[in-house]
Structure 1
Amino acid sequence: MSNYINNVKLFFKRFFLVVLLYQICRLLFYFFNQSAFDTITIKTFLGGLHFDLSAIAYINILFAVLHLIPGNFKNKQRYQKTLKITFFTINLVFILTNFVDFEYFKFTGRRSTYGMITASGMENEIGGLILSFLQEFWFLPIIGIILAIVFWKMIPNLKPTHDSTASNLNIVKQTALFILLTGLVFLMGRGGFQKKPIRIVDAVNYGSISQSSLVLNTPFCILKTIGKKEALENPNFFSTEELNTIFNPVIATNPNKPQTNQNVVVIILESFGRENIQRGQTPFLDSLITKSLFFENGFANGKLSIDAVPSTLSSIPSLMNNSLITSSYSINKLYGLPKILKDNGYYTAFFHGAFNGSQNFDQYCKVAGFDAYFGKNEYEGPESFDGKWGVFDEDFFQFYCQKMNSFKEPFFTSIFTISSHNPYTIPEKYKGKFPKGTTKIHESIAYSDYALKQFFESAKKQDWYKNTVFVLTADHTSSEPTEQKFNTNVGKFRVPILFFNPGDENFGGISYRNTQQIDIMPSIVELLNIKTKMISFGKPYKSEKDFAVNYLDNIYHYIEGDYYMAFDGKNAIALYNFKKDELLKNNILKLESELAQKMERFIKAYVQSFNDRIINNKLTLQ
C-alpha cells in the first residue's frame, strides 16, 4: 500500500509542478503585454489559477489514470521512465503554446484558439513566417528551452519501497482512492460542480473585461476549440415580429435619381489602425483625408485580416470565434457588393498580393460572386517577392492600376495590401527612406502609404479616375499602440474609414457618427443610387442610426452614440461613456439603468438576428 501512496504523491507533485509553470507563463505573458492591461488584482491571478487547473486536469487525466490505477506493475523502472517522458513531452507542448501569445496577442487582442494555431488559409506563408518570427523573437525559444530544462530537472521520480503486499483489502483501498482521486482531477477539469464546465467567456467573472486574456491560458482556449466547428446558438430573446421592430437587417433602396454608374475601388490597408494615422507615418493618407468624407469614429468589425473582407464587402460582422470565411458557414449564400453591383452592370474583381489561397480569400471571392481574383500567381511586373507574404505593395498597386485599364466600365474592384504585416518587410532600395517611428510596424506603414501615393499618381492619369469612388479603410488596428486609449475595447477597433470622390469637389467633410466596416456596403449602394434589396448588418452613411458592433474574447462590444456596452451573450456586464471616459475606468451600468436596458434590448436583437440568419443560411432574400 505504501508504494501506491508514493504513486499518488508522485502524480500530484508532478501535477502541481505544471501548475507552477503555468503561473510563470502567465507572468511572462503579462510582462510581454503589460501595456494592454491596466490595474491587475489578486482576483485576476486566482481566476487564472482556476482556468489553469482546468486545462492541466484535462491534459493529464490519462496520466492520473496511469499513476493511480491499482497494481504493483507501476513500480517497474521501464513503466516509470516511459510515464515520465510522456508526461514531460505532452505537458511541455501545451505549456509552449502560451509562448505563441506572448507576441501574437499584440496582433489579435485575444488568446489563440485551435483554428488560429493551425493557421488555416496560410499554408503557403507559414514556413517563411515561422522562420521570420523565430529570428525576430529569438529570445522566446531561448526562454522555452530554459523552461523545458528546468521542467525536466524538477520532475520528481518514484521512490519505491520494498512493500509488495497486494492483499484484497489493499486492492479495495487502492480502487477507492483511484475512483476518488481521478474523480477529483475530472472535477478540476470541468472547473467545479456548476451545471456546465467552465467556458472561455467565464473569464470575465474574474475582473474587468480587458483582463480576460490574462485570466485565460492558451492551452485552455485550444482545448475548448479543438475539433469544433463554429456552432452558433439562436438565443430567441424575441418573437420574429418583435425582433424586426428592434433590429431588421433588410435594407431596401429606392432612389429618386438615376444610377450613377461610377466605378468603385475599395482599398483595405493592412494594419492601418487609427493609431497610425496623422502621426507622421502616413502623409499621403492624411492629405487624402482632407479631400474626403472622413469618419472620425470609424471601427473595424474584427481583429483579424480574415474578418475584414466579409465585413467590408458583404456587410457581415465577425461575431463568431472563427471568421465566417473559415467557419462551417463559409459556403452560406451571400448577396454582397460583388453580386449587387454585378446585377447592375458592373465587372467585379478582387486583388491580394499574397500567395493564392492566403486567408482563403479566393474561396470567399467565389462565394461572394466576384468575376475574377488576382493574387501573387496572376501578378505581372518586375520581380517583387518580399520573401514571406507576396508582392510588395508598390508593385502590386501598379499592377492593380494597369489591370483596371483593361476592365469594361463600370467596374468594382477591391485590393487588400500586405506589406505592413509582420515581419514588416520593405524593399531594400527604401531602407532608411521612411521614418522608423516608435514601433517596428511604423516604417512599413510609411512604405505602404508611399505605395498608396504612387497608385493614386498613376490612377490620376487614367480615363476612369474621375468617374470612380474610392473607399479606404484598414482591416484592423496594429499591435503595440503608443497611446493607452487604443488598448481599450473601443480603441482596439478604431480604424480610418473614408470615401474619396475625385469627380465631385463638393463631396467631403468629417462625420462624427459611429461608422464601421459593415456600413461600407450599404453606403456604396446608396451613393450609386442603386435600387435593390439586401441583408446588411450595418447602415448607410446618411442614416441617423449611430451604432457599431464587434466581438472579442466571447464578448459583444456595442457602441451607441457616446456609450459602449459589453454584452456576454445573455446579459450586459458593463457600460461606459467612452467619449468622456476614454480608458473605460468608470462602469456606469447600474447608474444608467434606463439607458442600459435600452441598449441591452438592441444588442440582444442584433445578436439574435445575426445568429438566426447565419445558422439558417438567410443572408440573401428569396
Structure 2
Amino acid sequence: MQNYLQSVKLFFKRFLIVLIIYQVCRGLFLFFNRNNFNDISLKSTLGGLHFDLSAIGYINLLFALFHFIPGNFKNKPRYQKVLKISFFIVNLVFILTNFVDFEYYKFTGRRSTYGMITASGMENEIGGLIFSFLAEFWHLPIIAIVLAVLFWKVIPNLKLSTEQSNNKLQILKQSGVFILLMGVVFLFGRGGFQKKPIKIVDAVNYGSINQSAFVLNTPFCILKTIGKKETLEIPNFYSEEELNAYFNPVFENNPKEDATKKNVAIIILESFGRENIQRGQTPFLDSLITKSLYFENGFANGKLSIDAVPSTLSSIPSLMNHSLITSSYSINEIYGLPKILKDNGYNTSFFHGAFNGSQNFDQYCKVAGFDNYFGKDEYDGPESFDGTWGVFDEDFFQFYCKKMGTFKEPFFTTIFSISSHNPYTIPEKHKGKFPKGLTKIDESVAYADYALRLFFESAKKQDWYNNTLFVLTSDHTSSEQIEDKFKTNVGKFRIPILFFNPGDKTFGGLSYRNMQQIDITPSIIDLLNIKTKMITFGKPYKSEKDFVVYYLDNIYHYIDGDYYMAFDGKKAIGLYNFKKDELLKTNLLQSEKEISTKMENFIKAYIQSFNTRLINNKLVL
C-alpha cells in the first residue's frame, strides 16, 4: 500500500508543478499584454486558478488513471519512464499554446480557440507567417525552451519502498482510493459540482468583462472548442409576433426615385482602427474624410478580417465563436450586396492581394454571388510580393484601378488591403519615408494611406470616377491601443466608416450616429434607390434606429444611442453610458432599470432572430 500511495503522491506533485507553470504563463500573458488590462483583482486571479485546474484536470485524466490504477506493474522502471516522458510532452504542448496568445491576443482580443490555433482558412500563408513571427518575436521561443528545460528537471520520479506484495485487502483499499481520486481529478476537469461543466463564458463571473482573457487560459479554450463545429441554439425568449415587434430583420426599400446606376467601390482597409487615424499617419484619408459623409461613431462587427467581409457585404454580423465563412453555416444561401446589385445589372468583383484562398474569401465570394475573384494569382503588374501575405498595396491598388476600367458599367467592386497587417512590411524603396509613429503598425498604416492616395490619383483620371460611390472602412482595429478609451470593449471596435461621392459635391458631412459594418449594405441600397427586399441585421444610415451589435469572448456587446450593454446570452451583466463614461467605470444596470429592460428586450430578440435564421437557412426571403 505504501508504494501505491507513493504513486498517488507522485501524480499530485506533478499536477502541482503544472499548476504553478500555468500561473507563470498567466503572469507572462499579463506582462506582454499589460496595456490591455487594468486593476487586476484577487477575484480574477482566483478565477484563473479555477480555469487552470479545469484544463489541467482534463488534460491529465488519463495520467491520473495510469498513476492510480491498483497493481505493482506501475513500479517497473520502464513503465515509469514512459509515463514521465508522456506526461512531460502532453502537458508541455498544451502549456506552449499559451505562448501563442502572448502576442496574438493583441490582434484578436480573445484567447485562441482550436480554430485559430489550426489557422483555418490560412493554409497558404501559415508557412511564411510562422517564420516571420519567429523572427519578430524571437524572445518567445527562448522563453519556451527555458521553461521546457526547467519543467523536465523539476518533474519528480517515483520513490519506492521495499514493499512489493499486494494481498486482496490492499487491492480492495487501492481500488477504493482509485475510484475516489479519479472522481477528484474529474471534478477538477468539470470545474466543480455545478450542474454543467464550466464554459468559456463563465470567465465573466470573476471580474470585469475586459478581464475574461486574463482569467482564461489557452489550453482550456482549445479543449472547449476542439473538434466542434459552430452550432447555435435557438433561444425561446419570445413568440414570433413578439420577436418581430422588438426586432425584425426584413428590410424593404421602395424608393420614390429611379435607381442611380452609380458604380460602387468598397475599400476595406486592414487594421485601420479609429485611433490610428488621429496620429498624423493618414494625411490622405484625413483629407478624404472632410469631403465625405463620415461617421464619427463607426464600429466593426468583429475582431478578425474574416468577420469583416460577410458583415460589410452581406449585412450578417459574426455572433459566433467562428466566423460565418468557416462555420457550419458557411454555405447557407445569402442575399447580400453582390447578388442584389447583380440583379440590378451590375458587374461584381472582389479583390484581395493575398494568396488565393486566403481566409476562404474565394469560397465566400461564390456563396455571396460575385462574378469574379481577383487574388495574388490574378495579379498582373511589377514584382511586388511582400514575403508573407501577398502583393504590396501600392501595386495591387493600381492593378485594381486598371481592372475597374475594363468592367462594363455599372459595376460593383470590393478591395481588401493587406500591407498594414503584421509583420507590417513595406517595400524596401520606401523604408525611412514614412513616420514610425507610436506603435509597430503605424509605419505600415502610413504606407497604406500612401497607396490609397496613389489609387485615387489614378482613379480621378478614369471616365468612371465621377459616377462611382466609394465606401471606405476597416476590417477591425489594430493590435495595439495607446489611449485607455480605445482599450475598452467599446473602444477596441471603433473604426472609420465613410461614404465618398465625387460626382456630388453636396454629399457629405459629419454624423455622430452609431454606424457599423452591417449597416453599409442597406445604406448603399438606399443611396442607389434600389427597390429590393432583404434580410439585414443592420439598418440604413438614415434610419432612426441607432444600434450596434458585436460579439467577443462569448459575450454579446450592444450599443444603442449613448448606452452600451454586455449580455451573456441569458442576462445583461453590464450597462454603461459610453459617451460620458468612456472607460466604462460605472455600471448602471441597477440604476437605469428602464433603459436596461428596453435594451435587454432588443438584444434577446436580435439573438433569437439571428440564431433562428442561420440554423434554418432563412437568410433569404
The TM-score, its normalising length taken from structure 2, stands at: 1.00
The residue that corresponds to 1:599 in the other structure is 599
Gaps of 5+ in 1: none
In the alignment, what sits opposite 2:380?
A: 380
In structure 1, C-alpha distance between the alignment counterparts of 2:506 and 2:117, rounded to whole Å: 48
Counterpart AA for 2:157:
N
SS in structure 2 at match of 1:388: coil
1:322-371 Cα deviation digits (max 9, x unpaired): 00000000000000000000000000000000000000000000000000
Counterpart of 1:122? Answer: 122
**CA distance in 2 between partners of 1:303 and 1:312 (Å):** 13
Q: Distance in 1 between matches of 2:409 and 2:401?
A: 14
C-alpha separation in 1, matches of 2:474 and 2:297: 13
Q: Distance in 2 between matches of 1:35 and 1:447?
A: 25
Aligned to 2:465: 465
Q: Residues 237-386 of structure 1: matches in 2 within 5 Å?
A: 237-386=237-386
State the AA in 1 paired with 2:357: G
Counterpart of 1:112 in 2: which secondary structure? coil
Aligned to 1:390: 390
Partner Cα separation in structure 2 for residue 88 and residue 26 of structure 1: 19
Q: Which amino acid in structure 2 is aligned with residue 361 of structure 1?
A: F
Q: Which residue identity does 1:142 align to in structure 2? A: I
* Counterparts of 1:468 and 1:570, CA distance in 2: 44
Instruction: Write the mapping of 1:145-164 to structure 2, written as runs, cut at 5 A.
Output: 145-164=145-164
- Cα distance between partner residues in 2 of 1:42 and 1:143: 26
Q: Write the letter of the residue equivalent to 1:550.
A: Y
What is aligned with 2:106? 106
How far residue 478 of structure 1 moved from its aligned partner, in angstroms, is 0.3
Report the alpha carbon displacement of residue 34 of structure 1 after superposing the two structures with TM. Answer: 1.1
The 1-side partners of 2:199 and 2:294 are apart by 40
Letter in 1 for 2:499: F
Q: Deviations over 1:512-555 (max 9, x none)?
A: 00000000000000000000000000000101110100000000
Q: How far off is 1:38 after superposition?
A: 1.2
Verify: 1:70 aligned to 2:70, yes or no.
Answer: yes
Match of 1:281, SS state, is coil
| Alignment-derived partner of residue 547 in structure 2 | 547
Secondary structure of the 1:605 match is helix
1:474 maps to which residue? 474
**Corresponding residue for residue 10 of structure 2:** 10
Q: What is the aligned-residue identity percentage?
A: 78
Are the equivalent residues in 1 in contact too, given 2:298–2:495 (CA < 8 A)?
yes
Query: Matched residues in 2 for 1:96 and 1:45: separation?
Result: 20
The corresponding residue for 1:527 is 527
Residue 207 of structure 2 corresponds to 207
Residue 374 of structure 2 aligns with an amino acid whose one-letter code is F
Distance 1:156 1:425 in 2: 46
1:557 Cα offset (Å)? 0.3
Which residue number corresponds to residue 497 of structure 2? 497
- 1:223-263 C-alpha deviation (Å, 9 max, x unpaired): 00000000101101000011001100000010000000000
Deviations 1:135-190 (Å, cap 9, x if unpaired)? 10010001101110110011000011110120000000000000100111001100
Mapped to 2, the partners of 1:16 and 1:513 lie a distance apart of 53
SS at match of 2:33: helix
The 2-side partners of 1:591 and 1:181 are apart by 47
Partner of 2:59: 59
1:427 equivalent in alignment to 2:412: no
Equivalent residue, structure 2, for 1:45? 45
Q: Which amino acid aligns with 2:525?
A: V
Q: Tell me, what secondary structure is at the counterpart of 2:470?
A: strand
Cα distance in 2, alignment partners of residues 416 and 278 from structure 1: 22
Instruction: State the match for 1:188 in structure 2.
Output: 188
Separation of aligned partners in 1, 2:344 and 2:499: 21
Asked if the contact 2:51–2:191 (Cα under 8 Å) also holds between the matched residues in 1, the reply is yes
Shift of 1:278: 2.5
Whether the 8 Å contact between 2:279 and 2:437 is mirrored in structure 1 is no
CA distance in 1, matches of 2:11, 2:117: 29
Alpha-carbon distance in 1 for matches of 2:15, 2:28: 20
2:514 aligned counterpart, secondary structure: strand
Amino acid in structure 2 at the alignment position of 1:521? T
Q: Distance in 1 between matches of 2:24 and 2:387?
A: 35
Whole-Å separation in 2 of the counterparts to 1:538 and 1:271: 22
Does residue 572 in structure 1 map to residue 572 in structure 2? yes
Secondary structure, counterpart of 2:573 in structure 1: strand
Amino acid at match of 1:439: T
Where do 5+ consecutive residues of structure 2 fail to align?
A: none
The aligned amino acid for 1:259 is: A
In the alignment, residue 110 of structure 1 is paired with which amino acid?
R
Q: Match for 1:444: what amino acid? A: S
Equivalent residue letter for 1:135: A
